[in-house]
Amino acid sequence: MTNRQLEQLKKETQEQVDQIVPGKVKVSIEKDGEGRGGNTYILVGEYDSQYGKSTWTEQIDNFFTDNKLFLAFFKQRRDYMMLSIEEQSRFDGHPSEYVAIPCSLEQDIEWAMESENLV
């Protein structure tokens, strides 16, 4: 890939990741330092986790076709990644298994009132 294509890939991937987990991941592209030769790069997504800074990567080589696999990682963990670090640390399971339970405002008020014995 040319530098222009790499920059376009980075920009598009950042926009797509921001649609999945807004503001949670910084996308970059780095030269592969493993000495594989040629023009091999790494697509990097850096994010905060309960363990500190974490990354998800995908190699950009002759077999790379698009960023769909890279994006799938974040889609699979969207609900977990949208939690605060404290909430993440309380979850006892794999991040891909966490599912947020959507609630309505009415349910939230009802549950709050029940917990305070107001109903």
pLDDT of residue 27: 98
Q: Pick from 31, 77, 32: which is nearest to 54 by CA? A: 77
* Whole-angstrom distance, CA of residue 97 vs CA of residue 99: 6
Q: What ranges do the domains of the chain cover? A: 3-115
Any alpha helices (H) in 1-119, and if so which ranges? 3-20, 68-76, 78-81, 85-90, 105-115
pLDDT along the chain (119 residues), means of 10: 94 98 97 72 94 93 92 95 92 88 68 64
Measured between alpha carbons, how far is 20 from 78 in angstroms, rounded to an integer?
Answer: 7
